[in-house]
Each structure stands twice: as C-alpha cells, then as structure tokens.
Structure 1
Amino acid sequence: MKFTTAFTTFLTCAFATPALFASATPVAEHELVKRVVYSPHITSPTHRTIWQSGQSVNITWDTSDAPPPDQITNRYGKVEIRWDHTATPFLLASGFDILNGWVQVGVPLVETRYDYSIVLYGDGNNASADFEIDGIPSS
C-alpha cells in the first residue's frame, strides 16, 4: 500500500509538473523594464565648504545624467552626516525625491571639525568631500 501511494504521488508530480510549466506565460510576452541604481555626484558641500551650526543649508547633487524616473529603483532619498569616515552617521533628511537635485537641512550643533562629509542615499549612495562645520569648540 505504501509503495502504491508513493508511486502514485511520483507519477502525479512527474506528469503534472511539465503541464504547469507549459501553461505559464512565456517571459517574452511580458515587457521588462530596465532598472538602474542611480548614485548622483554631490556638488555641495565641497572640500572648501564651512557650515555654521544652526544654519539652514542646501545639499546639492548633479542630476544631469539621471535615467528616466521609471527606471530608478528607489527615487526617495536620505542624507546623513558623518565624521572621521568611521563614526555612526546622523540623519539630516529623508523622504525627498533624489531627482530634485537638492535638499535643505539644518546644520546640527556639533563639535568644530574639519572631517565631516555628507552621504546621499537613494538608489545607491555617494559621499561628499570632507568639509568643516564651525560649531562647539573642542575641549
């Protein structure tokens, strides 16, 4: 009995499986949309930039080479600030359309340093050059 049940199950799977694949719609009949990971170049801040804690600033990036919007896998970005290339980043903005080419943020109250950088996330990520924030004097 066990052999008959197992053999029947085997035959059912062996003959049903090709039928399932034969009824599937071929891939060629569907239109595939090319998707790309888009990582725009940050144009501001630059290595000559000095921000003051508490001010509002624009972070900008070049969108001249952007693919069509429907080809970008994630158009909604976030911006983080980091320092010393190892510290845990701090979120400055999120939920904006990276195709805008800019976002306005408030400069956090931080210690004066010369090794801050911005990381722009959306589809991919891109980091700015190191720049300075004039903030709380270091002790």
Structure 2
Amino acid sequence: MFSFNKLAAFTTVLVASSAALATPANVKKRAALDIFVPPITSPVAGDVWVVGQQRTVTWDTSNAPARITNIIGQIILRKGEETVDFDLETCFDIRIGQIQVTVPEVADGDDYNLILLGDSGNVSPDFTITH
C-alpha cells in the first residue's frame, strides 16, 4: 500500500507529466495578422468616367502592415447603396495599390462609387459614368 507521502508525490509527478505532454515545447506562436484598410485615392469626387474606357483605381498602401489578414482584393461597382452587378476586378493583391478596370455599360449620367474589398470594404467618393 502507498503511504500518503508516496501518493502525494506520485500525484504531483503525474500532474506535471500531463502538463508537459499537453504543451509541446516546439509549438511556434502564430505571427499576428493585421487588418488592412487602405483608403481609395482614385476615383475622386466629381470624376467622370466614360463607358468602355480603361481607368486606374488607386488606393493608399503606405501604411500596409507586414502581415495582412486577407491580401486578395476585389473591386465592385456600386450605385448609391446598392451593388450593381459588376465586379470590375477580382483576385489581385491589395498591396499593389492600383489596378486598371474597364468602365462597364451602365445607365448614362448616374453617380456611382467603388468598393475595394480585401480585409474590409472601403468605399470611394461618388463619381459619374457617362456614354
């Protein structure tokens, strides 16, 4: 039979062993990922785009963190508060800071804005699309 001291010592060793096995020594900490919210710098308020033109959408990447949660970008055309059925560009690295798009066929003279998606959605100022 175990004495109380031997039982206490055995229990202490057992608990310590379990803790050591549950926490592997070689586990590396994951590097923290940051959310990147780059402001759109073009188009600007009052710009006029013409259907069929190639235009460059730009955004500020000067404060981009080293490790971004989601670097895959998408640009969506929006009219007012509703998304129009135009993904102007998809699957690009948001760290590039600019991308060319073709102005789609939409209602003449209406105001639109762009949403830059990646980590979060940034909205451009309103601009006009004409024919």
**Common fold by TM > 0.5:** yes
Alignment partner of 1:120 out of 116, 120, 130: 116
1:19-30 map, 5 Å: 22-25=20-23, 30=28
Distance change >3 Å, CA 125–CA 89, structure 1 → 2: farther
2:39 to 17, 41, 46: 41
Q: CA deviation at 1:85?
A: 1.3
In structure 1, the partner of 2:54 is 56
How many pairs are equivalent?
118
One-letter amino acid of the counterpart of residue 43, structure 2: P
TM-score normalised to structure 2 length: 0.79
Q: Following superposition, which runs of at least 4 residues in structure 1 exceed 6 angstroms of deviation?
A: none
One-letter amino acid matched to 1:37: I
Q: Which runs of 5+ in 2 are unaligned?
A: 1-15
Distance 2:19 2:86 in 1: 50
Counterparts of 1:1-139 in structure 2 under 5 Å?
A: 22-25=20-23, 30-68=28-66, 71-135=67-131
Q: Which has the higher helix share?
A: 1
Q: Which runs of 5+ in 1 are unaligned?
A: 1-17
The AA in structure 2 aligned to 1:66 is A
* Residue 39 of structure 1: how far off its partner (Å): 1.2
C-alpha displacement at 1:29, in angstroms? 5.1
* TM-score, with structure 1 as normaliser: 0.74
For the structure 1 residues 87 and 75, does the alpha-carbon distance in structure 2 shift closer, same or farther, using more than 3 Å as the test? Answer: closer
Question: How many Å apart are 1:60 and its aligned residue?
Answer: 0.2
